[in-house]
Structure 1
Amino acid sequence: MPTPINNWVSEVFRARRPFMVGIGGCGMSGLARLLRSGGAHVRGSDSSLTALTERLSAEGIMVEHDGPESTLPADRDLLIMSAAVKRDHRLVLEAQVRGLPIMTYAEALGLAMSGRTGVAIAGTHGKSTATAMLGCVLIDAGLDPSVIVGATCAQLGRGSLGGEAQEPVGSRIGAQVVPLGTFASKPGLLIGEACEFNRSFHNLYPTLASISSIEADHLDIYGSIDAIIEAFAVFARRVPPASQGGKLLIAHDGAYRSVVTAGLECAVETIGFNPAADWCVSYDAASRRTTLRHEDLRLEWIGHMPGEHNAMNAATAAALAMLLGAERARVEHSLSAFRGLDRRMQLLGDGVLPGGGVVRVYDDYGHHPTEIDATLRALRQAESPEARGGRLICVFQPHQHSRTRFLLGEFATSFGQADVVIVPDIYFVRDSQAEQQLVSSQDLVEKLREKGVEASLINQFDAIVEHLRTFTRDGDLVVVMGAGPVWQVGHQFMKSLGKAQA
């Protein structure tokens, strides 16, 4: 495994003057706060000024709008770029001309983690949810972690048991030293997502890590599932030996465990619904009760977020928290009180239709077939719209042409729980002009119709909202899904409706 750089945050970033391009994202804004806590004089820019950037400004981190006339301030000695920023961005090019060091977000996060006791959450699905859950559990258990999540969560600032939820945040800064538990007196905990895109997680230095699943995704980068498996194996090898406290928690099934763990020096434990797993999970959908067993240990809680996949996310957080030395009762109480995070099966509310009748609207980030299937199954089971004479209507915006093309058949199958699917244009990310010509949303609509799903193509968001206003009826459940700007549809639709009585 690679050798960590001790005290990087406190020593190397101290007094540096990084400029962060794309500072407004959840990850980048969290990193900005972390570096500032370590003594760096942080400044940055973003093309969109939001509540997150306003929060940074209020905390003393200068944020400016990234416009056509933007230039790199003269006093900056380091540039950190978001994964969404291209190498030909004018500020990146200016930094090159000036001879400044340039880091990606993942590189900077990894260097920051090397000076902390790092916990990295990996897997094709569930990273943000499990990371937010673990962060809240550790806050409630008194371990005072720093946490960076790829989504915002209203409970992350003070934990699930910290009283009334506050403004949603994607990060929190904790203690410089672990106050209690397995790693007491060690450098403070840093909990973060280990993203496999572009092999970003190969930059991290985790002491503990988890891998929840490995599936085909980002095939424009990897080309094959074998390359993806190898990338996860390389990530697993970054966990230090067991003699140094290193441990990997990996899914008993669905993560190519025998390949990924071959030859590892760290301790390895498995988790899953399989009775043979070291951490054995069981879930009762009707009550939303999750039970986790490990040797003589038994934990149990009733979660707010429905679905087996969320039970597994919570169980992963619970297992990691126990490995970090959290008290069992605090783990159970925290997970029982955790209410979710933005864009992960997020209930937007109930609205009254123009002609009467009430519809319920959810928003979700799912953009991979497995995520779509899991979310729709969970919502069908939890909400039972058919019992009210309603339908499950899904508005899904495909994310990236290459993903849509590679997984077109899987996408068509994943909507089996939906009664109606509405598809706008594919959200363009990274794809070449040639790639964009190879697949379209109409291709997905036709595949869905072949599967017997009522599907239609409506390109414009405003047109989708207007269609929903006239098409939906009392008892319908509307789920807006996708990683792009399609979230606007759910919010605009809710704004167009009357307020339902509680």
Structure 2
Amino acid sequence: MTGLKDIQKVYFIGIGGIGMSALARYFISLGKRVSGYDRTKTVLTSELEASGINIHYEENVNLAPKDIDVIVYTPAIPADHKELVYYRENNYKVVKRSDVLQWITEAAFNVCVGGTHGKTTITTMTAHILRDTGYGCNAFLGGISANYNTNFWSSEKNVCVVEADEYDRSFLKLVPDIAVVTAMDPDHLDIYGTPQAVEDAFVQFAGRVKKGGCLISKYGMKRSNELKADHHYTYSFDNPKADVYATNIDVENGSYRYDVISKGWKLKGVLLHMGGLHNIENSIAAITVAKYLKIDDEKIKNAVANFKGVKRRFEYVLKTSRHILIDDYAHHPEELKALISGIRSLFVDKKCMVIFQPHLYSRTNDLAKEFAQSLDMADEVILLPIYPARELPMPGVESELILDNMQLPQRQVLTKEVMLDWVKMHKPELVVMCGAGDIDTLLEPVKQILETD
């Protein structure tokens, strides 16, 4: 293990990323000197600057600090990035974000949550339960906790709750005492190549659980028989064949009340103030972690009831008698399916209007039919142009590729500007805006339009 205590000055290339910013906050909490680069200024980078971190937004070797112990970069940074090339050519210690998480987790008791969807909510809820009940943990989250308005917090207790990112196989450097696997659906095929390779990586991840440790996996996954650990529990939304599942589910004023049943225990009257039936299932995974750690039942229930969710995960941006606006990070077909199903369960008498921004050309190309099937569950759909993130355009791959595979009559592709004009004209009652790109920058304009109705 690299001696973290010996590191005094850290520089982050891509500091504004959700995972990178959590590590930057971690080093600040240790009293280290932190600085960084990012391409654009965001709310997150502004918060980091407010905490004393010097950030520049120009790819410029002259602005990059020279007196640095470790340079941390995200895989989203291109290999020819001028600053990254400079540090490598001058023999600085250059590591990936996953390497730093490996250093941290090698010396701690770790709860690592992985899966192609659901992991951010489960990680955040698990960390919240451990914090709220007084158990204590350090948290490295892939989203902003609505309870604490941050993606990182520290604790004197040497326990880490970590979101295990499968992109670039980063999660295979973690050393879990407890691992959660939520899903192994095809994603990041630009990295893995085939769905089987994605599954192989999750089997490897489960195999990294320490001797005597615990694996918690979703019931019924393909190749689940290959997921092994000394203690292994399966969870499900409501399938009694799983080791842990929910029953007696009721909707109460937009919230859910239910019982969580296991072979050895019952947790009755759990109250979750977070929309989406899939979030009941997410809560079951987090509750199973807490029960494994022998946290008191009433403390667990109070913590779940206090959970406010994750920013951009089924987040109510506007909720009035006339209009509801929901924001969600869903960017995979299975996530969209879960999101729209959750909307349907809560708002059975309202027309479901979905505005979706596809994320990545490669993902759109690989999963166009699956995206179409999920979006067909809505009443009306507007597709925005693809958000490219780290990718260059692919010939023939546009949002129309999804549109052409859809059966829903009420569907169209609109630019951002025309979409806002459409909302002004139609003032829909229930709007769901989703995607992992920059669609969140359109939330405030849409909210203002709906509020004026």
Query: Is TM-score (shorter-chain normalized) higher than 0.5?
Result: yes
Counterparts in 2 of 1:103-122, with a 5 A limit? 103-122=95-114
Question: Secondary structure at the residue paired with 1:190?
Answer: strand
1:258 aligns with 2:225: yes
C-alpha change, 1:381 and 1:294, in structure 2 (3 Å) is: closer
* d(CA) in 2 for partners of 1:62, 1:431: 28
2:33 partner SS: coil
Task: Please say if 1:305 is aligned against 2:274.
Answer: yes
1:2-401 equivalences under 5 Å are 5=1, 11-38=3-30, 40-68=32-60, 71-155=63-147, 157=148, 168-175=149-156, 177=157, 188-242=158-212, 246-261=213-228, 264=229, 266-272=230-236, 273-282=238-247, 284-287=249-252, 288-300=256-268, 301-350=270-319, 358-386=322-350, 391-401=351-361
* Structure 1 CA distance for aligned equivalents of residues 30 and 107 of structure 2: 10
From 406, 413, 418, give the equivalent of 1:463. 418
Alignment TM-score, normalising by the size of structure 1 = 0.84
Residue 51 of structure 1: how far off its partner (Å): 3.7
User: Tell me, which stretches of 5 or more residues in structure 1 are unaligned?
Assistant: 158-167, 178-187, 352-356
Aligned position for 1:486: 439
User: For 2:222 and 2:11, how far apart are their aligned partners in 1?
Assistant: 37
CA distance in structure 1 between the partners assigned to 2:260 and 2:85 by the alignment: 51
Distance 1:46 1:431 in 2: 17
Quote how far apart the aligned CAs of 1:307 are.
2.6
Q: Deviations over 1:212-236 (max 9, x none)?
A: 1111111222122211111001111
Tell me, in whole angstroms, the C-alpha distance in 1 between the residues paired with 2:211 and 2:78.
36
Q: Which residue identity is paired with 2:383?
A: V
Residue 42 of structure 1 aligns to a residue whose secondary structure is strand
- Whole-Å Cα distance in 1 between the matches of residues 57 and 391 of structure 2? 26
How far is 1:318 from its partner?
0.8
In the other structure, the counterpart of 1:181 is none
Counterpart amino acid of 1:212?
T
Residue 259 to residue 189, structure 1, CA distance change in 2 (3 Å): same
For residue 15 of structure 1, report the CA deviation from its aligned partner: 3.6
CA distance in 1, matches of 2:201, 2:413: 36
1:417 to 363, 377, 384: 377
- Which amino acid is the alignment partner of residue 472 of structure 1? K
The answer (yes or no) to whether the contact 2:111–2:179 under 8 Å persists in 1 is yes
The one-letter amino acid of 1:200's match is S
Structure 1 residue 350, shift from structure 2 partner = 4.3
Amino acid at match of 2:19: G
Describe the shift of the 1:52–1:136 C-alpha distance in structure 2 as closer, same or farther (beyond 3 A).
Answer: same
Deviates more, 1:22-31 or 1:286-295: 286-295
**SS at the partner of 2:404?**
helix
**CA drift at 1:363:** 0.9
d(CA) in 1 for partners of 2:248, 2:77: 41
Which range moves more in the overlay, 293-302 or 72-81? 293-302
Name the CA distance, whole Å, in 1 between partners of 2:85 and 2:390.
Answer: 19
Cα displacement string for residues 328-380 of structure 1 (whole angstroms, at most 9, x for unaligned residues): 111111111212111111111047xxxxx933211111011111111111112
Runs of 4+ residues over 6 Å off in structure 1: none
Secondary structure at the counterpart of residue 118 of structure 1: strand
Please give the alpha-carbon distance, in whole angstroms, between the structure 1 residues aligned to 2:424 and 2:349. Answer: 18
Call closer, same or farther: CA 1:74–1:68 in 2, change over 3 Å.
closer
Check whether the contact 2:246–2:284 (CA below 8 A) recurs between aligned residues. yes
Query: Deviation digits for residues 223-264 of structure 1, max 9, x if unmatched?
Result: 22211111001111111111xxx1111112125210232xx4
Q: 1:183 — aligned with what?
A: none
Structure-2 residue corresponding to 1:440: 398
Mapped to 1, the partners of 2:426 and 2:62 lie a distance apart of: 46
SS of equivalent to 2:324: strand
State how far apart, in whole Å, the 2-side matches of 1:432 and 1:13 are.
40
Counterpart CA distance in 2 for 1:493 and 1:17 is 42
State the SS of the aligned residue for 1:286.
strand
Tell me if structure 1 keeps the 8 A contact 2:23–2:140: yes
Calculate the aligned-residue CA RMSD, in Å: 2.1
Change (3 A) 1:350 1:141: closer
Distance in 1 of aligned mates of 2:248 and 2:18: 31
> Which one of the candidate residues 415, 418, 427 is aligned to 2:387?
427
Q: Hey, what's the Cα distance between the residues in 1 that align with 2:143 and 2:452?
A: 27
Q: How many angstroms does 1:60 deviate by?
A: 3.5
Distance 2:34 2:16 in 1: 13
Q: CA separation in 1, counterparts of 2:248 and 2:367?
A: 29
Distance in 1 separating the partners of 2:182 and 2:222 = 7
Amino acid at match of 2:364: T
Per-residue CA deviations over 1:413-456 (Å, capped at 9, x if unaligned) read: 102331110111111134454xx1132211211222xx133111
Structure 1 residues 15, 219: CA separation in 2 closer, same or farther (over 3 Å shift)? Answer: closer
Partner Cα distance (2:122, 2:24) in 1: 22
Of 120-129 and 268-277, more deviation after overlay is shown by: 268-277
The alpha-carbon distance between structure 1 residues 15 and 274, as it changes in their structure 2 partners (threshold 3 A), is same
Q: What residue identity is the alignment partner of 2:430?
A: L
Name the % identity. 28
Q: Is the 8 A contact 2:59 2:83 kept in 1?
A: no
Distance in 2 (alpha carbons) for counterparts of 1:412 and 1:285 = 30
Shift of 1:302: 1.5
